[in-house]
Structure 1
Amino acid sequence: MTATEQRFREFKMPDVGEGLTEAEILKWYVQPGDTVTDGQVICEVETAKAAVELPCPYDGVVHAVHFEEGTTVDVGTSIIAVDTDPGAGPAEAPAAAAEAPAAAEEDAEPQGRQAVLVGYGAAPSSTKRRARKPQPGVPAQEPAAAAVQAELNGHAGAAAPAAEAPAAPAASAAPAPAAGRPLAKPPVRKLAKDLGIDLATVTPTGPDGVVTREDVHAAASAASAPAAEAPAAQPAATAATAGSEAVRARETRIPIKGVRKATAQAMVNSAFTAPHVTEFITVDVTRTMKLVQELKQDPDMAGLRVNPLLLVAKALLVAIKRNPDVNAAWDEENQEIVRKDYVNLGIAAATPRGLIVPNIKGAEAKTLPQLAAALGELVSTAREGKTAPGDMAGGTVTITNVGVFGVDTGTPILNPGESAILAFGAVKLQPWVHKGKVKPRQVTTLALSFDHRLVDGELGSKVLADVAAILEHPKRLITWA
């Protein structure tokens, strides 16, 4: 490592989960010129599992922020440069792109200054791209356009010096590319994608034929203009296109990424891998609801979140203890059923970024106050969007509380890798036959989905019946435990 590299330290996007490949930068907490310390949170990123705050591993002053908010960055790519010795005076920082994996394949050869991504600043480089072989029928790219293309693609190597390239006519000093990928910076490409604009159809006005944000907005405005403004004699195909664009202008398109993208893929994989069976049972939970009110007044539960979900969770844990084979996983590679002697109890939580399922590790060993404390912490952390990826790994069974939305029940889809999921429906006052008379009682419906490869109908029915029996007569939490 050179002296310059030791001074200007590049912080790369880490793998904050288990084998993640990319993360989106949600928010920067620092900007160039800000002083940072080791351990200080510098940004928030969203992975396919959760939103995570990243701490800085260096002391110093922020030299450059390499990506804007909203940019998705590959793991291992430098996102920020920190000057660890700002008192040493002005110095040229190395280009962060030189540390990218692609640059490792380039031939080392001294050269002058190079084009880099916005925010890097121009910097000397110790590497140079190997000259590309010209393709038949494709004109050589001009030095200026090649430099911009290198900048936009994030390559460490700059375009070849002008002396090494054929001289270009003066009239084509700022040409738009005639073929290939349109020149545009990543934020502009994202804007075009969000607005449904094909960059190839946009007329560039930026230097060296680069498409700017203004160009994209102009194209979007033209696309959404009323059809009445078009020439009266337009062809039928043009009219159809204008109509389609008018409809698109009235639609909101939300990119599928992060937690929502991962959840969608997981649900598809689960639904089409594990053969689901769902069973239902309606139960009188009046005694359980009374117990909830009593526990709220119990000094041992002071300051804890006490609600029906707590007793449903405890009931499920007791049912698993009585039927341990339900707490298992299917090992396709080894053709084995793996029974777990621990319960990592997942609780499905709806967040602004999508559905996540954090779990309580070792839930089977917790007392009721401990379980209440763990549930309260899990829910509050999820609502704040601060759930760590590790808190969502290793779940064995899950509860989804659809009753909070006023829903009676549903057919829940298994969390991938788990054997069962219990849906807890809304508790409602309904007429019920109690001790030979019809009386108003607190009633709910439970639904248990399970993987029929390892849980047969008898086992699944026993687990669901046990949960219902405990909620109907909660004293069984003591006698059966």
Structure 2
Amino acid sequence: MSATMIKEFRLPDLGEGLTESEILSWKVGVGDTVSLNQVIAEVETAKAVVELPSPFAGVIRELHEQPGTIVEVGKPIVSFEVSDDAAAPSPAPGTPASSPASPASEPGAQAAQEAKRQPNLVGYGAVVESSARPARRLRNVRAVVESDTPRSLVAEPVEPKPVATKPVGTKPVETKPAAAKPVEPRTPGVEPAETRPRSTPPVRKLAKDLGVDLAMVAGTGPQGLITREDVQHFLDGHSGGAAPEAAPAGVQARQGERETRTPIKGVRKFTAAAMVASAFTAPHVTEFLTVDVTPAMELLAKLKGNREFSGHKLTPLTLAAKAVLIALRRNPALNARWDEVNQEIVTFNYVNLGIAAATPRGLTVPNIKDADSLSLLQLAEALTGLTETARSGKTTPADLTGGTISITNIGVFGIDAGTPILNPGEAAILALGAVRNMPWEYQGEVALRQVLTLSLSFDHRLVDGEQGSRFLADVGAILAEPGMVLTMV
């Protein structure tokens, strides 16, 4: 009969290099029996919503975080009760995997064994080396259940057990918190106990920005941890604590219904950081071209009546995307990246076409892989699938990375032109304006024509004025007279 043990599952790095994620929902509850790789939660990174599979087969014993909580990578989110066999499929020869205090285990062998126990799920990155722990429990150190805290999370307090053993050579550490303190002592060696209450770096920054003294905030997190919600509740007066004496200039607490504060997180937080980095790294240049696209709109109407395109969504964006792909063949400089580290210009021989999509979670730019190899019909299908997936919040991290050039369709909002900011790592982005009926010179006379404006922003380190202008002119020529494609391919 095999014994059972408790295994903690810490929030993994989802392959994006991000430091935190938000728990959107749990797909399981305490007491549920789960199988290996069964989806147990849905989490939101700064780029996408990701389904989190179970790394163990066993019974859910505790859910450490509630939906809506922002959790740092490496922090425990769920505990499982698993059998020895399930926890350690490859035990070290001669040593039972369920024997954490086996004196025969050497630290090196135990570390290797522990690494084997931790499933390395696809996309989660390598197993953190610091998660391996010595086999024997040291005196005066509390035993941790099956895994140590990673070095980046050592701020978690250690509570010595009330055992008869006395510390040797030092004065015993007082573990009973003072009655007036709403938080518990910090871990010695990480930060002095008198410096500040327990909280994470993002929470401390939030408190500093809002002018909140964390010593006056009661923590509701595990072992008195002060969370973002605690800081916000303190500002609302819900915590019963005194308001800060003075807030920094420009920062005000929420009062009634006079204002609404929305936490900056997830996609919006990532997009803001990316746009700032792009705007102040790449020298942007924006050019505009207004085009009579009446022939392109007539072609679009004919294609919609064609049996081959029946049932497929065709829009001006479809034709513009195809025009961009064709124009890139003649102007490859716009399909490139500036490699600052190696001091090289990387020109791509493929096109991963990014399409900016407004979603309930914020702006995302998923891309169509190898879009240059698709026919017009295939491109239409890919655009439809991409936008539907983005708006449902199911875009995968892989679809959001690797783009080489992007299009943003501001015309759907009735906007004619703009100065789009480059997607980081790309050389150009094209904004597609609204198609409007306007008086226009046509065959020597003024006629009512369908007109739109194209706005092209490009990185002037990679693309000079001539290259950008030729590319924009090619896109405009294709939309103004689709037959021009015959002269370009």
Which one of the candidate residues 250, 253, 258 is aligned to 2:266? 258
Matched, 1:65 2:45: no
Q: Is the 8 A contact 2:440 2:446 kept in 1?
A: yes
- Paired with 2:345 and 2:222, the residues of 1 have a C-alpha distance of 62
Task: Give, in angstroms, the shift of residue 291 of structure 1.
Answer: 1.6
- After TM superposition, the score normalised by the length of structure 2 is 0.74
Show the counterpart of 1:304: 312
- Paired residue secondary structure (1:379): helix
Q: Is the 8 A contact 1:267 1:416 kept in 2?
A: yes
Which one of the candidate residues 44, 51, 57 is aligned to 2:42? 44
More divergent stretch after superposition (32-41 vs 405-414) = 32-41
* Closer/same/farther in 2, CA of residues 238 and 222 from structure 1, 3 Å limit: farther
Which one of the candidate residues 411, 415, 426 is aligned to 2:423? 415
Aligned AA (1:199)? L
Aligned AA (1:271)? A
More divergent stretch after superposition (36-45 vs 442-451) = 36-45
Aligned residue pairs total 432
* Closer/same/farther in 2, CA of residues 106 and 388 from structure 1, 3 Å limit: same
- Paired with 1:424 and 1:312, the residues of 2 have a C-alpha distance of 8
Task: Give, in angstroms, the shift of residue 62 of structure 1.
Answer: 1.3
- Paired with 1:469 and 1:205, the residues of 2 have a C-alpha distance of 62
**What are the Cα deviations for residues 105-131 of structure 1, in whole angstroms up to 9, with x where unaligned?**
8995367997xxxxxxxx9758999xx
Task: Give, in angstroms, the shift of residue 199 of structure 1.
Answer: 3.4
- Paired with 2:433 and 2:202, the residues of 1 have a C-alpha distance of 44
* Closer/same/farther in 2, CA of residues 193 and 294 from structure 1, 3 Å limit: farther
**What are the Cα deviations for residues 79-105 of structure 1, in whole angstroms up to 9, with x where unaligned?**
22233459x9xxx9x9xxxx9987768
* Mapping for residues 226-265 of structure 1, pairs under 5 Å: 250-265=258-273
* Closer/same/farther in 2, CA of residues 173 and 438 from structure 1, 3 Å limit: closer
Show the counterpart of 2:189: none
Show the counterpart of 2:329: 321
Aligned AA (1:323)? N
- Paired residue secondary structure (1:475): helix
* RMSD between aligned residues: 4.5
- Paired residue secondary structure (2:300): helix
Show the counterpart of 2:348: 340
Matched, 1:220 2:221: no
Show the counterpart of 2:467: 459
Aligned AA (2:360)? P
- Paired residue secondary structure (1:48): coil
- Paired with 1:210 and 1:340, the residues of 2 have a C-alpha distance of 48
- Paired with 1:360 and 1:248, the residues of 2 have a C-alpha distance of 46
- Paired with 1:474 and 1:61, the residues of 2 have a C-alpha distance of 62
Which one of the candidate residues 173, 181, 193 is aligned to 2:196? 181
Matched, 1:399 2:407: yes
Q: Is the 8 A contact 1:152 1:184 kept in 2?
A: no
More divergent stretch after superposition (365-374 vs 70-79) = 70-79
Show the counterpart of 2:448: 440
* Mapping for residues 308-387 of structure 1, pairs under 5 Å: 308-387=316-395
* Closer/same/farther in 2, CA of residues 464 and 189 from structure 1, 3 Å limit: closer
- Paired with 1:190 and 1:69, the residues of 2 have a C-alpha distance of 23
- Paired with 1:351 and 1:159, the residues of 2 have a C-alpha distance of 49
Structure 1: gaps of 5 or more residues: 115-122, 130-150, 231-236
Task: Give, in angstroms, the shift of residue 13 of structure 1.
Answer: 2.3
Task: Give, in angstroms, the shift of residue 36 of structure 1.
Answer: 2.0
Q: Is the 8 A contact 1:110 1:126 kept in 2?
A: no
Aligned AA (1:304)? H
- Paired residue secondary structure (2:417): coil
**What are the Cα deviations for residues 234-269 of structure 1, in whole angstroms up to 9, with x where unaligned?**
xxx97999x986765533222222222221111111
* Closer/same/farther in 2, CA of residues 61 and 461 from structure 1, 3 Å limit: same
Q: Is the 8 A contact 2:22 2:69 kept in 1?
A: yes
* Closer/same/farther in 2, CA of residues 167 and 258 from structure 1, 3 Å limit: same
Task: Give, in angstroms, the shift of residue 162 of structure 1.
Answer: 6.4
- Paired with 1:315 and 1:105, the residues of 2 have a C-alpha distance of 58
Task: Give, in angstroms, the shift of residue 454 of structure 1.
Answer: 1.6
* Closer/same/farther in 2, CA of residues 416 and 206 from structure 1, 3 Å limit: closer
**What are the Cα deviations for residues 138-192 of structure 1, in whole angstroms up to 9, with x where unaligned?**
xxxxxxxxxxxxx99545x4325365488999x9874426944336899999998
Show the counterpart of 2:137: 109
* Mapping for residues 193-204 of structure 1, pairs under 5 Å: 198-202=213-217
- Paired with 1:270 and 1:433, the residues of 2 have a C-alpha distance of 39
Task: Give, in angstroms, the shift of residue 416 of structure 1.
Answer: 1.0
* Mapping for residues 101-140 of structure 1, pairs under 5 Å: 108-109=136-137
Show the counterpart of 1:120: none
Task: Give, in angstroms, the shift of residue 56 of structure 1.
Answer: 1.9
Q: Is the 8 A contact 1:404 1:426 kept in 2?
A: yes
- Paired with 1:62 and 1:433, the residues of 2 have a C-alpha distance of 71
Percent identical pairs in the alignment equals 54
Aligned AA (2:466)? E
- Paired with 1:18 and 1:106, the residues of 2 have a C-alpha distance of 30
* Closer/same/farther in 2, CA of residues 280 and 183 from structure 1, 3 Å limit: closer
- Paired residue secondary structure (2:312): coil
Task: Give, in angstroms, the shift of residue 217 of structure 1.
Answer: 4.7
Show the counterpart of 1:159: 160
Aligned AA (1:441)? R
Which one of the candidate residues 270, 275, 279 is aligned to 2:278? 270
- Paired with 2:77 and 2:224, the residues of 1 have a C-alpha distance of 27
Q: Is the 8 A contact 1:107 1:128 kept in 2?
A: no
Which one of the candidate residues 464, 479, 483 is aligned to 1:471? 479
- Paired with 1:203 and 1:382, the residues of 2 have a C-alpha distance of 39
**What are the Cα deviations for residues 411-439 of structure 1, in whole angstroms up to 9, with x where unaligned?**
11111111111000011111111111211
More divergent stretch after superposition (310-319 vs 327-336) = 327-336
- Paired with 1:187 and 1:277, the residues of 2 have a C-alpha distance of 35
Matched, 1:33 2:41: no
* Closer/same/farther in 2, CA of residues 29 and 191 from structure 1, 3 Å limit: farther
